[in-house]
């Protein structure tokens, strides 16, 4: 990619501004461990909502999303349900409120609030910290792969080098350089720097998204798009089979569908729904989402934060994704990205290729700065969250509980840098972004959900049940995939999820039923303070016997209704910008009508009934 002096200047100005803001805010962060990791619970919910959206707008995910839309068209809007993307809706409706009521610093510390100070609680605390560190390192490796592949396409210098038998590619060198800058301001300024820089990065990304979307609108036509894609590409709906035949238009796209294993899309969709309910009900994995919940001022502000995130994230992000996809479909020569030996096309390179060839000088620099911002904001959020677990939940709890705040903050610098080094090592091993995505969301998340659903809704679920459920799930992640392959079963990660869930559920229920219940006073305090619905009968009766004025949570029906409405509302926010870009007016008008209805329902049955 050729970058003009103007484009390069815009990118450098962005990097300088980011580091400056991070250092400027660092004075607020170094007072104590709470200001370093939670910004002292002093940030408005709308700043945290913008920060949350910015943190979810990563380069790797955007590259994959462009590849999905290129191949699957409007049906690609369903594929992110693999994560699932509607965990934001569960958080918005009720889980964020429940979680924020704990008043703790990290997700692992929340375990003590739920299970007390028993042996089972200690084991649960330890395994949560271990899982948190694994998830942070896994995501960092995923980010390294994405930013390296992206940066080498647009930065003009060859940074490859070798020393003895060791060789560093230009792709890896760029990844290390960008990661180094991100780590610098994150280490210095903690969560204040993460949020402050992410708010700035959000506005840069939004402008860049709108620019690309409008370029696509003004330089392509609906007829050009229709001529480049097979029948059914512009339809959101599907049957048992996907129903897209790329044989005449682009055989490499058909090969990608076959490799992804999504031909029987109806079956995959049912697995998405099954997994989605479990994974969303479990709440966020112990990373940056949970950290933002715990950093809000009040429980209702935590819910509002998640209500804002889909609006400010989905609309601009999918305007960009659809814009880049359409530009590539209409103007790109697939041969330029196709390996002549295998016939395979690297669809993850469509995004940088389209920027290189179809975006004008100046706008190119702005867009690249925005996509750099997307990477840096997500990466910064993860490493700050990972460091919180290392310092607060290992060092402070088990090694030095009464050290001066200055020592904890200094240790945070070291642990953040250490996590980055480990994550980068795993990232440099190499791999495919799609493969990393499948492993994280299909398997690693699968080991987490059983214990973390039961902890909310079942009073008898204790610390031992949580520990053995998590342990069984994590062991299952390690042995289940190779065991299935040895038996001749080549299953997708999402297809392995029900088996992994069964293993984790068995460990959870056996661990709880074969050990004594947790301390009754701990359970009563958790129930009174959190007020969840679920199977809490014995504890609820004892709480009400002591306090007849206590109000139980009878909102299961309303919360379930709001979740369904919220999922439809969020889906409209995804497909509306896609319909605009591909000029699908019938789908656009229907989606706008559904968005208006669901927005009214959420205002009436969710927003107006929020309470701390």
Q: What is the mean pLDDT of each successive set of 10 residues along the chain, which is 612 residues long?
A: 76 78 62 55 78 72 86 92 83 91 72 86 83 74 66 68 66 73 64 70 83 89 91 91 86 83 87 85 70 82 91 90 90 73 69 75 76 68 70 74 72 75 68 52 66 91 92 83 82 82 92 93 92 93 91 92 96 96 94 97 95 77
Sign of CA dihedral 32, 34, 37, 40: negative
Residue 217 makes CB contacts below 8 A (sequence gap 6+) with: 323, 580, 581
Nearest to 235 by CA among 579, 608, 611: 579
The pLDDT score that the predictor gives to residue 538 is: 93
Conformational region of residue 492, where left means phi above 0, alpha means psi within -120 to 50, and beta covers everything else = beta
The enclosing H or E element of 508 equals helix 493-513
- Dihedral (C-alpha) 516, 467, 41, 372: value to the nearest 10 degrees? -170
- The DSSP code for 345 is B
Question: 166: how many CB neighbours lie within 10 A of its CB?
Answer: 7
Residue given tokens 């819910």 in the structure block: 303
Contacts of 432 (CB under 8 A, 6+ apart): 145, 348
| The predicted structure's pLDDT at residue 297 | 84
The structural domains of the chain, ordered by start, are 5-430 (1.20.1730.10)
**DSSP-derived 3-state class of residue 117:** coil
Looking at the DSSP assignment, which residues form a beta bridge with residue 535?
458
Predicted confidence at residue 591, as pLDDT, reads: 96
Provide the whole-model pTM: 0.83
pLDDT of residue 333: 77
Are 466 and 120 in contact by the 8 Å Cβ rule? The answer is: yes
According to the model, what pLDDT value does residue 362 have? 76
Distance separating alpha carbons of residues 372 and 427, to the nearest angstrom: 18
């Amino acid at each position: 990619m050729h970058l003009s002096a103007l484009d390069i200047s815009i990118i450098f100005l962005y990097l300088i501004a980011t580091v400056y803001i991070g250092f400027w805010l660092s004075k607020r962060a170094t007072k104590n461990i709470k200001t370093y990791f939670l910004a002292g619970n002093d940030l408005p919910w709308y700043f945290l909502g913008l920060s949350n959206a910015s943190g979810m707008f990563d380069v790797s995910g955007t590259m994959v999303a462009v590849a999905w839309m290129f191949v699957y068209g409007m049906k690609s809007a369903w594929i992110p349900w693999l994560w699932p993307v509607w965990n934001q809706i569960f958080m918005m409706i009720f889980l964020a409120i429940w979680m924020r009521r704990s008043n703790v610093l990290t997700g692992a510390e929340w375990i003590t609030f739920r299970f007390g100070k028993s042996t089972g609680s200690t084991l649960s605390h330890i395994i949560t910290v271990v899982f948190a560190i694994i998830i942070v390192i896994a995501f960092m490796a995923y980010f390294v792969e994405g930013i390296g592949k992206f940066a080498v396409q647009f930065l003009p210098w060859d940074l490859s080098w070798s020393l003895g038998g060791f060789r560093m590619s230009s792709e890896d060198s760029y990844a290390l350089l960008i990661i180094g800058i991100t780590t610098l301001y994150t280490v210095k300024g903690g969560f204040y720097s993460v949020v402050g820089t992410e708010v700035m990065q959000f506005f840069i990304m939004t402008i860049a998204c709108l620019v690309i979307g409008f370029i696509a609108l003004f330089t392509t036509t609906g007829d050009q798009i229709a001529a480049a894609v097979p029948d059914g590409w512009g339809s959101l709906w599907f049957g048992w089979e996907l129903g897209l035949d790329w044989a005449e238009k682009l055989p490499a796209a058909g090969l990608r569908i076959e490799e992804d294993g999504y031909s029987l899309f109806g079956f995959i969709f049912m697995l998405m729904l099954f997994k989605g309910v479990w994974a969303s009900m479990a709440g966020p994995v112990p990373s940056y989402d949970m950290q933002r919940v715990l950093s809000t001022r009040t429980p209702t502000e935590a819910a509002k934060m998640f209500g804002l995130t889909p609006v400010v994230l989905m609309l601009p992000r999918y305007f960009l994704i659809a814009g880049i996809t359409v530009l590539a479909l209409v103007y790109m020569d697939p041969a330029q990205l196709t390996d002549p030996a295998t016939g395979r096309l690297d669809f993850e390179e469509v995004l940088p290729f389209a920027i290189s060839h179809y975006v004008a000088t100046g706008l190119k620099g702005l867009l690249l700065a925005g996509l750099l911002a997307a990477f840096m904001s997500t990466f910064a959020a993860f490493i700050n969250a990972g460091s919180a677990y290392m310092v607060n939940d290992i060092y402070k709890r088990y090694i030095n509980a009464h050290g001066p705040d200055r020592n904890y903050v200094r240790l945070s610098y070291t642990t953040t840098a250490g996590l980055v080094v480990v994550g980068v090592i795993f990232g440099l091993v190499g791999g495919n972004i799609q493969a990393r995505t499948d492993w994280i969301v299909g398997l690693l998340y699968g080991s987490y959900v059983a214990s973390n659903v039961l902890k909310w809704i079942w009073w008898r679920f204790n610390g031992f049940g949580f520990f053995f459920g998590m342990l069984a799930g994590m062991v299952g992640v390690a042995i289940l995939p190779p065991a299935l392959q040895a038996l001749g079963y080549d299953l997708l990660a999402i297809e392995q999820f029900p088996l992994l869930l069964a293993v984790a559920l068995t460990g959870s229920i056996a661990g709880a039923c074969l050990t004594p219940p947790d301390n009754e006073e701990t359970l009563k305090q958790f129930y009174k303070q959190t007020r969840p619905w679920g199977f809490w009968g014995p504890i609820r009766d004892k709480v009400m016997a002591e306090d007849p004025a206590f109000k139980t949570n009878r909102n299961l029906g309303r919360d379930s209704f709001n979740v369904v409405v919220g999922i439809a509302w969020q889906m409209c926010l995804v497909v509306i910008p896609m319909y605009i870009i591909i000029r699908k007016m019938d789908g656009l008008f229907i989606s706008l009508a559904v968005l208006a209805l669901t927005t009214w329902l959420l205002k009436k049955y969710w927003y107006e009934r929020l309470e701390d």
